[in-house]
């Protein structure tokens, strides 16, 4: 599913929502689940 990209200054920019999950760990790393 493509959504409007809230991080882009371009109004037509899109991102893809994969449904995968992630989280920041206490040491600053990202744990990716998907």
Q: Where are the domains of the chain?
A: 2-33
Please give the chain's pLDDT, 34 residues, in tens. Answer: 999 999 999 999 999 999 999 999 999 999 999 8
Record the tokens describing residue 15, joined without a space.
């991102």
Query: Tokens 């809230």 sit at which residue?
Result: 6
pTM here?
0.51
Angle at 7 between CA 1 and CA 13, to 5 degrees: 55
Residue-by-residue DSSP string for 1-34: -EEE-TT-SSTT-EEE----EEEE-TTS-EEEE-
Output the pLDDT for position 34: 81
Residues in contact with 17: Cβ distance below 8 Å, sequence separation at least 6, in sequence order: 1, 2, 3
């Amino acid at each position: 599913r493509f959504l409007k990209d809230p991080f882009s200054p371009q109004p037509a920019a899109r991102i893809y929502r994969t449904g995968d999950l992630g989280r920041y760990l206490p040491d600053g790393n990202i744990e990716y689940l998907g």
